[in-house]
Amino acid sequence: MADTGLPINSELTDATMSKVLAISEEFRRLDTEVPGQLVSVFLYIASHNPCHMQAIEKELRISPNSVSRNTDWLSKYHRLGKPGLNLVVKVADPTNARRRLVKLTQEGHKLVDRINRILES
């Protein structure tokens, strides 16, 4: 690729998008391979804490398998014996043992605090 001689533009042109990028980077600090769906699931849980896994399926329009896979990744133990991000925990719904609730862990609350600081800056 030929060098045009123009300087590389790093001038901030949209402060809101810069905040969104900073939030994205918070997730990438946890795992550089974090997919967008995982971020959406975490943000849904954070904004509806605690919530039912079925609510995540319905509101985000993703399959039960995807919700399970994403909440496993967000939990202490990911699939295939890999460590998870330890941001949420799954518990039985005390009113209906067949349903599962997902809620933030202490680490999950810390991430929410960091995101809120970015949004408030």
pLDDT digits (tens, 9 = 90+) for 84-104: 999 999 999 999 988 999 999
Domain boundary assignment for the chain? 33-113
The β-bridge partners of 93 are 96
Per residue of the chain (121 residues), give pLDDT as tens: 566 677 777 888 899 999 999 999 999 999 999 999 999 999 999 999 999 999 999 999 999 999 999 999 999 998 878 899 999 999 999 999 889 999 999 999 999 999 999 999 9
Tracing tokens 């209906």 back to the chain, one arrives at: 96
CATH code for the domain defined by 33-113: 1.10.10.10
Burial class (CB in 10 A: 0-12, 13-18, 19+), 48: middle
Let me know: does 60 contact 40? Beta carbons within 8 Å.
yes
Number of helices and strands in the chain (H, E): 5, 3
Measured CA to CA, the distance from residue 102 to residue 7 in angstroms comes to 48
